Amino acid sequence: MMPRTLRVLALLLAVGLSAGACKKVIGDGCTASTDCSAQGDRQCDVSQADGYCTVQGCDPNSCPDEALCIGFDAHAPRLERRYCMAACAVDDDCRTPEYRCIRPDPRACVNTANQTGTLPDGRSCNVLIDTLSRAAGYCAPAVQ
CA distance 107 to 105: 5
**Is residue 2's pLDDT more than 70?**
no
Of 47, 48, 94, 92, the residue nearest 68 (C-alpha): 94
Mean pLDDT of the chain: 79
**Is residue 33's pLDDT more than 50?**
yes
**Is residue 16's pLDDT more than 50?**
no
pTM of the model: 0.74
Helix (H, G, I), strand (E, B) or coil at 7: helix
Report percent pLDDT > 90 for the chain.
Answer: 42
pLDDT of residue 75: 76
CA distance 41 to 134: 22
Q: Which of 35-44, 55-64, 73-82, 115-124 has the lowest mean pLDDT?
A: 115-124
pLDDT of residue 12: 45
The CB density around residue 141, as the number of other CB atoms within 10 Å, is 16
Mean pLDDT of the region 92-113: 79
Helix (H, G, I), strand (E, B) or coil at 44: strand
Mean pLDDT of the region 52-81: 90
